[in-house]
Amino acid sequence: MATVSPALDAHGHADDHSHVHHEQSFISKYVFSLDHKIIGIQFLMTTLIMLMVGGALALAVRWQLAFPWENMPVVGQLFGLFRSEGGQISPEFYTMLFTMHASVMIFLVIIPILAGAFGNFLIPLQIGTDDMAFPALNMLSYWFMWPAILCFGCSFFVAGGTAGPGNGWTSYPLLSDLPTAAPGSGSSQTFWLIGLTLVGVSSMMGSVNYLTTIINMRAPGMTLFRMPLTIWSMFITAILQAFALPVLTAAGFMLVFDRLGTIFPTDIHSVFFIPANIIVNNSAPTVGGGQPLLWQHLFWFYSHPAVYIMLLPAMGMVSDMLSCMSRKPVFGYKPMVYSMAAIAGLGFIVWGHHMFTSGMNPALGMTFMTSTMMIALPSAIKVFNWIGTIWGGDLRFNAVMLNCSGFVAMFIVGGLSGIFMAAVPVDIYFHDTYFIVAHFHYVLFGSTLFGVFAAIQFWFPKMFGREMNDTVQKWHFALSFIAFNFTFFPMHMLGIAGMPRRYADPYLHGYLEHLLPMNRFITLSAIVMGFAQFLLLGNFFYSIFRGKKVGRNPWNANGLEWTAPSPPGHGNFDIAPVVYRGPYEYSSPEAEAIGQDYILQTVPHVKGVAKFAHH
Amino acid sequence: MSLTPSLKPLALAGLLSAVAAIGGCSDSAFESSFAYSEGTLSLVREAREGTKANPGVKKLLDDRFGDPQQLKAWEKMPIDFGGALTSVAEVKQSESGSQVVKLTVEEGQSLPAKAGTVHFMTGACEGETVQVAQWNAKTGEATLAAISGNEIAAGDSCVIDRGAGLSTGRMLYMRHCSHCHGTSGDGNGPTARYMTPKPRDYRNGVFKFKSTNDMSKASRDDLSRIVKYGIPGTYMPSFLLMKDDEHHAIIEYVRFLSMRGEYERKLVAELSSDYSQTAYESRVESGEKKAEILQELDEFLAEDLKESAGSLGDDLAETWTTADTEEAAIVPSVPREANTPESRRRGRELYLSKTLNCADCHGIDGAGNGPQTIAFEKNPAKGDELYNEPGLHDIWDNLNQPRNLQLGMYRGGRRPIDLFSRIHAGIQGSRMPSFKNTPHEDIWHIVNYVLSIPFETEPGATGVAPSAAEAVAVPAAVTVPVAE
Amino acid sequence: MKKFWALFFFFWPTVAIISCLIAPSRGWWFPSAPMSRTGIQIDGLFYLILIIVSITFVGTQYALGYALWMGATKDSASRAHFSHGSHKLEIIWTIVPSFILVFISLSQLDVLAEIRVISKFPEQATKIAEVTARQFEWRIRYPKPGEKLTTEENPGDLYYVNELHVPTGKPVIINLRTQDVQHAFFSPQLRVKQDAVPGLVIPVWFDVLEVGNYDLVCAELCGWGHYKMKARIVAQSQSSVDKYLKELEAEQNEDGTKSEAAKSDE
């Protein structure tokens, strides 16, 4: 059936098969665009900006931990917030810094950069279709990010600029529930909650779209087990998102209803999370019969799966890239798929491990411990398979490969440190110490972001038709990787030394005083890491305009996206693709037969090739 | 980790490479300045800043108390400024010609490890502070950086590093206290605005919970108890685990801020009736010539204020000194009455009685809901005008409702003597009056009753006859009380 | 340059391991040896996991490094090894880790039950005090000497703040509660941690092995002053605790005249 010849250098019939182009205005082409690629790039740009915002907040946190109560650069004097204090920040400002750092990084960077940016850009291209199933919904999912960003932004300022939401990204009641409980628990907390809900709406629109698109719109021949692992990961992530998110949204609304007084001048409110007789800030005792632990259950029912939402797509993309850069099929494709599915499935029944010290029934603790231990298994399988993929490969040592290897190395650390926390008795000691901070930064920054750094460079040519400078990317990798480890590895030690999280001034406690030098070292490393990101940003924006122009398939990869023009026009493919094989047939005998070490998914089988190759 | 101190400039260089031009970055921690009170700012410029020839309020204040970077130890003030008291044993010349003073301490004490300055308390150099160029902690020989114009003689007493304690106090204060109580002790730090009740403004020299009589200031011991045990029911936490010398340093610094604030108020009080901006404007309106008023102000600054600047300090010092003496302390004339049902019943009768009328504020059941809490009170600062919200207010203009005695939460401490002092001296700054003329036995009965309120199964279950409850004259629900 | 990058991935886990090895000597390790019986068990489990994890860490990181080294030293003419994986290997590396994980999980259960399950609390454990967390301090309430601790306050109760006196050598229970928001009772040296949840009274047991002062801090974000909740657990002999409570009782009944009387007696 080899009637279609999708050879790469098939000139002459561009636009023949793609949808009819008509001139679009700038607004409808680049702003309120319905094109999944533009939306993906919009997400990417937005999240990169937010990455810098979140990073700046992190540096402010680090400054306070290294030089407690000393004049904080920029915020201390420039905005005049703390001029009368000589630039010394207030403790509630510190709580806001770490709260907003986490909120921005999780909700405005990691989730949208994976699902929003790469999910959008890659899904239609990799499954061989012209766009998402619901382009308008897709556009809305991006434009719901902006009200969310606006709400988060407002939450900084409604309380006078010195106290935004300061209850941690987990926002445990009652601190987040009673408006007088903390300086940031007034209307800024409400804005934060509304922002969170809007991010949820955006994610939900994306999920619905991804699920429908992946199920219904695959190109002919693209069976489920011929899908790249990126698509599998996006698919599983979308399922996770669609099932877990409603719980958080509901919980968010419950909290908003508890806090109705901060929206309308009313005394009427619900008491979902408010028990009776609580006196906060000298106010009248509360009337209620609620349970604060309910929030923790609901919150983590979403937020633990959310950890995998923040990780799985990166796992999928790294699998793709590692295979390509090793010129070798992914080791154990199906086990990779099954382990992702297992992670997602188990992900729904491990939320209680965030609550081992909360006073939850210990029998539940035992159950959650076992399920949490077991979720390490699919993660381990994936690591072994990645190493297996590299093993014996014809490696391309470019920055994509390095970042992917960095991903694997960092994921091992993050995964292994997680075992300590899964074990309840050990977690009793480590809960809410810097050990946890180290752990989740290894997973979320060490793994996900290094994966993202690789993915940006890998798919950059497809986005802009040019390539990024590999040398700059290598420098960026080396600096980020070293500074990252210098920043976060010592945090394990801080945790073992018993330093709790979220302390504005840990050195008040005698047993932590000697940790100041180490914290200074960490801060210095964090600053280096922060500034290293300008290499990425610089390279990114420079390359958009000045990068070397490249063809459709600069990496000699197999996926469908590489058969489309770079950048693909509206409608993606000039020839509607038909799929004949899996996405990872690098160095296969068939490829060898045509004198390449790769073979596109669209290349049809030729009878007798196998025999031919054995000559 | 000796490399770490050098990390900050590195970190700063890293962070500020993009914003190098912004703000003076200094290594000295807690660089800040004292704010002047509203009173000072309401004066005409010449009274505030001084005229060509004569200092104004700001300068008079700064000359005596300094600013946070350069605190001044005004010897009139009864503050332990810190430093080691020594006396001169011998005065020599070093080979290089500089003056070397050998200092000794009293037996049992030891010489400090470091010495930056020597301040002379007696002798020809009295009041002078000289920099020390070299210090030998073993022999006690201090090589002075400059040769004093006056002669130093053996036997002169002097203090090494006078003010060191105050500086320590300031560092501790800035780390632990200032985000609520403010750099200048005005109770207006950045965190203060989110709190109920508001943190104390020290500048009135008024402290609520103390063991001294109603006319006296708080003693050091009182302040120390508050810092150690906190104030339950407020955001003032306990700093129990702070070291004793740190407690002492903080308390001295709080007293310093308090005296500075009070001194500023006193200076302003001398000037405000004639030379506040509003007084000045109305005088101009009534036909006086601007130049004449300013001429008069200049004379006032030159003579009256210069003169009273010293005596105001003396008065201030005296009140603070008295607070720490036995004269000020409240000592019950009789021991606590046995805590019997009869005593508690008597206490309740007194509580409800017309003369003491505790229930007028604290309510018949002690729930802190007496009729006064829903009445509108006059705002003393605004003449006859009433406050916008009902309830009692303190002198800082904050709503300050009477304590709910059912909670068993006693801000000033739960010892019987604490409650006794509260009733005897009242709570300065709040509307809780002093009952110093009430017989001490009666106060003890009330104390016994009040301590039993949280454990009552029903109101008045201590065994009060119903007739006693009727005896109290309950005012109509909402009345406008006549402010005294 | 290829070899450099392969070595890079050998180098960093080596640095990580060395830094872990020197950490205890530099004070970057537990604040002290465990000072309670459950603490000793917790540390034992920690080291068990640490050993397993370290072996896995070394194995996987160096395997990754070696795979890269192979790629870096490969002669450029030879092609990649074409393979879709190995069923046998997949089974091995599924079953072996799952046994290890189940083993870790089972090894925790007894200690967990001992620490948290109320019916398994030591029989001789007595309730010594109620610890009420509030923004930003720990309020302690002891029963009147000789009386039992109850959930409700009693007239003779003794109150203190930020300092909990406990007898050594025997299990004790505290009732943990909070007056306002959520806090967590954390003593790093005793390896004790339990959240104080609004609306709940949670019993916590521990035994202190040696006389001494141990830190008590808050481990659950409770507002701007979270870091200020500095308190200590004073562990002393039963007789010293009794003496302390006597003194506290006398202090709490202070009426301001006794000291005067004492003076005149002298």
Query: Confidence band (pLDDT; 50, 70, 90) for B25?
Result: very low
CATH number at B431 reads 1.10.760.10
Q: Which of C85, C225, C226 sits opposite A388 (nearest CB)?
A: C85
The mean pLDDT of chain A is 91
pLDDT in the model for residue B414: 92
Q: Find the mean pLDDT for residues A370-378.
A: 94
Q: What is the 3-state secondary structure (H, E, C) of A257-271?
A: HHCHHHCCCCCCCCC
pLDDT in the model for residue A18: 45
Asked if B146 and B203 sit in the same domain, the reply is no
Query: Given a cut of 60, is residue B22 above it in pLDDT?
Result: no
Query: Given a cut of 70, is residue B40 above it in pLDDT?
Result: yes
Assigned domain for C259 exists:
no
Count CB atoms within 10 A of the CB of residue A280: 25
Query: Given a cut of 60, is residue A139 above it in pLDDT?
Result: yes
Q: Which residues, 6 or more positions from C6, have their beta carbon under 8 angstroms from its beta carbon?
A: C65, C68, C69, C71, C72, C73
The mean pLDDT of chain C is 93
Per cent of chain A over pLDDT 90 is 79
Query: Residue A341's closest CA among A368, A320, A315?
Result: A315
* B237 Cα to chain C: minimum distance (Å): 6
Query: Given a cut of 50, is residue B482 above it in pLDDT?
Result: no
Residues A98, C224: Cα–Cα separation, whole Å: 12
Asked if C106 and C148 sit in the same domain, the reply is no
Does the distance separating the beta carbons of B1 and A517 come in below 8 Å?
Answer: yes
Q: Residue window 167-206, chain A: list those with CB within 8 Å of chain B.
A: 180, 182-183
Q: Find the mean pLDDT for residues A558-586.
A: 92
- Long-range contacts made by residues B244-248, C-beta under 8 angstroms, separation at least 24? B246/B168, B246/B172, B248/B80, B248/B165, B248/B224
- Domains identified in chain C, total number: 2
Q: Find the mean pLDDT for residues B11-18.
A: 55
Domain containing residue A602: 551-615
Q: Residue window 156-185, chain A: list those with CB within 8 Å of chain C.
A: 163, 166-168, 172-175, 178, 181-183
In tens, the pLDDT along B427-445 reads 999 999 999 999 999 999 9
Inter-helix orientation angle A292-309/A333-347, to 10°: 170
Assigned domain for C236 exists:
yes
Asked if C109 and C69 sit in the same domain, the reply is yes
Query: Given a cut of 80, is residue B476 above it in pLDDT?
Result: no
How many A-C residue pairs are in contact by the CB < 8 A criterion? 324
Highest mean pLDDT among B1-5, B27-31, B175-179: B175-179
Asked if B448 and B467 sit in the same domain, the reply is yes
Contact C27/B at CB under 8 A: no
Asked if A579 and A483 sit in the same domain, the reply is no
pLDDT in the model for residue B24: 33
Residue A373 pairs with which residues in a beta bridge?
none
* C232 Cα to chain B: minimum distance (Å): 8
Q: Output Rg (C-alpha) for chain A, integer angstroms.
A: 25
Per cent of chain B over pLDDT 90 is 52
Does the distance separating the beta carbons of B32 and A86 come in below 8 Å?
Answer: yes
**Residue-by-residue DSSP string for B9-59:** HHHHHHHHTTSTTSS---SSTT---PPPPHHHHTB-HHHHH--SSS--HHH
Does the distance separating the beta carbons of C253 and B416 come in below 8 Å?
Answer: yes
Between the alpha carbon of residue C234 and those of residues A547, C127, C164, C213, the distances in Å are: 67, 16, 6, 5
Q: Which of C136, C159, C258 sits opposite B414 (nearest CB)?
A: C159
Residues A589, C32: Cα–Cα separation, whole Å: 62
Helices (H) and strands (E) in chain B, counts: 16, 8
Asked if B346 and B240 sit in the same domain, the reply is no
Between the alpha carbon of residue A187 and those of residues A110, A154, B14, B235, the distances in Å are: 26, 10, 36, 21
Q: Which of B31, B175, B182 sits opposite A71 (nearest CB)?
A: B31
Contact B190/C at CB under 8 A: no
Q: Find the mean pLDDT for residues C181-193.
A: 96
Inter-helix orientation angle A312-326/A399-422, to 10°: 140
Q: What is the dihedral of CA B467, B468, B470, B472, to 10 degrees?
A: 160
Both tokens of residue C27?
């004070």
Q: Find the mean pLDDT for residues A48-77.
A: 91
In tens, the pLDDT along C117-159 reads 999 999 999 999 999 999 999 999 999 999 999 999 998 999 9
Residue B89 three-state SS: strand
Q: Find the mean pLDDT for residues A374-393.
A: 95
Residues A247, A239: Cα–Cα separation, whole Å: 14
Lowest mean pLDDT across A223-237, A427-441, B114-128, B349-363? B114-128
Which residues in chain A have Cβ-Cβ distances shorter than 8 Å to C102? Answer: 370, 373
pLDDT in the model for residue A5: 41
- Are the beta carbons of B173 and B247 closer than 8 angstroms? no
Query: Given a cut of 60, is residue B473 above it in pLDDT?
Result: no
Asked if C152 and C226 sit in the same domain, the reply is yes
pLDDT in the model for residue A607: 63
How many B-C residue pairs are in contact by the CB < 8 A criterion? 69
Q: Residue window 89-128, chain A: list those with CB within 8 Å of chain B.
A: 90-93
Query: Given a cut of 90, is residue B129 above it in pLDDT?
Result: no
Both tokens of residue A169?
């990204």
**What single DSSP character describes residue A442?**
I
Assigned domain for A474 exists:
yes
Examine residue A174 and say whether the peptide bond preceding it is cis (omega within 30 degrees of 0): yes
Q: Which residues, 6 or more positions from C2, have their beta carbon under 8 angstroms from its beta carbon?
A: A395, A397, C71, C72, C73
Question: What kind and span of H or E run contains B346?
Answer: helix B341-352
Q: Which of C161, C230, C255 sits opposite B416 (nearest CB)?
A: C255
Contact C247/B at CB under 8 A: no
Residue C124 exposed, middle or buried by CB count within 10 Å (0-12, 13-18, 19+): exposed
Asked if C125 and C246 sit in the same domain, the reply is yes
Does the distance separating the beta carbons of C139 and B232 come in below 8 Å?
Answer: yes
Residues C266, C261: Cα–Cα separation, whole Å: 9
**What single DSSP character describes residue B302?**
I
Q: What is the dihedral of CA A412, A417, A421, A425, to 10 degrees?
A: 130
Q: Find the mean pLDDT for residues A523-545.
A: 96
Asked if B219 and B156 sit in the same domain, the reply is no
Query: Confidence band (pLDDT; 50, 70, 90) for B6?
Result: low
Asked if A560 and A522 sit in the same domain, the reply is no
Contact B343/C at CB under 8 A: no
Query: Residue A339's closest CA among A308, A297, A300?
Result: A308
Contact B471/C at CB under 8 A: no
In tens, the pLDDT along A1-20 reads 333 444 444 444 444 444 44
Find which of A520, A522, A537 to mutate to test the B interface (most B CBs within 10 Å of its CB): A520
Q: Decide which of B469 and A604 is more confident.
A: A604
Asked if C114 and C132 sit in the same domain, the reply is no
Residues C163, C241: Cα–Cα separation, whole Å: 12
The region that residue B82 occupies, defined by phi over 0 for left and psi between -120 and 50 for alpha, beta otherwise, is left
Assigned domain for A249 exists:
no
Residues A511, B390: Cα–Cα separation, whole Å: 49
- Are the beta carbons of A126 and A561 closer than 8 angstroms? yes
Which residues in chain C have Cβ-Cβ distances shorter than 8 Å to B235? Answer: 135-136, 225
Residue B439 three-state SS: coil
CATH number at A356 reads 1.20.210.10
Per cent of chain A over pLDDT 70 is 94
Residues A407, A445: Cα–Cα separation, whole Å: 9
Assigned domain for B289 exists:
yes
Asked if A506 and A613 sit in the same domain, the reply is no
Q: Find the mean pLDDT for residues B198-212.
A: 93
pLDDT in the model for residue A17: 45
Apex B401 CA angle, B396 and B405, nearest 5: 135
Query: Given a cut of 60, is residue A163 above it in pLDDT?
Result: yes
Query: Given a cut of 70, is residue B481 above it in pLDDT?
Result: no
pLDDT in the model for residue B148: 66
Assigned domain for B53 exists:
no
Asked if A532 and A559 sit in the same domain, the reply is no
pLDDT in the model for residue B106: 82
Q: Find the mean pLDDT for residues B136-148.
A: 83
Between the alpha carbon of residue A430 and those of residues A295, A300, C31, C176, C224, the distances in Å are: 22, 18, 13, 20, 22
Assigned domain for C265 exists:
no
Assigned domain for C260 exists:
no
Domain containing residue B155: 84-162
- Are the beta carbons of C19 and C12 closer than 8 angstroms? no
Asked if A344 and A415 sit in the same domain, the reply is yes
In tens, the pLDDT along A247-291 reads 999 999 999 999 998 888 888 999 999 999 899 988 888 888 899
Q: Find the mean pLDDT for residues C199-213.
A: 95
Query: Given a cut of 60, is residue A613 above it in pLDDT?
Result: no
Q: Find the mean pLDDT for residues A141-151.
A: 95
Query: Confidence band (pLDDT; 50, 70, 90) for A175?
Result: very high
Domain containing residue C200: 121-253
Q: Find the mean pLDDT for residues B267-271.
A: 92
Q: Output Rg (C-alpha) for chain C, integer angstroms.
A: 27
Query: Confidence band (pLDDT; 50, 70, 90) for C91?
Result: very high
Asked if C104 and C141 sit in the same domain, the reply is no
Does the distance separating the beta carbons of B16 and A84 come in below 8 Å?
Answer: no
Query: Given a cut of 70, is residue A306 above it in pLDDT?
Result: yes
Residues A489, C16: Cα–Cα separation, whole Å: 8
CATH number at C169 reads 2.60.40.420
Q: Find the mean pLDDT for residues A18-27.
A: 64
Both tokens of residue A415?
């995964």
Residues B139, A462: Cα–Cα separation, whole Å: 80
Asked if A525 and A601 sit in the same domain, the reply is no
- Are the beta carbons of B459 and B341 closer than 8 angstroms? no
Query: Given a cut of 90, is residue B157 above it in pLDDT?
Result: no
Query: Residue B11's closest CA among A63, A52, A535?
Result: A63
Find which of A339, A407, A412 to mutate to test the C interface (most C CBs within 10 Å of its CB): A412
- Domains identified in chain B, total number: 3
Q: Output Rg (C-alpha) for chain B, integer angstroms.
A: 28
Asked if A615 and A592 sit in the same domain, the reply is yes
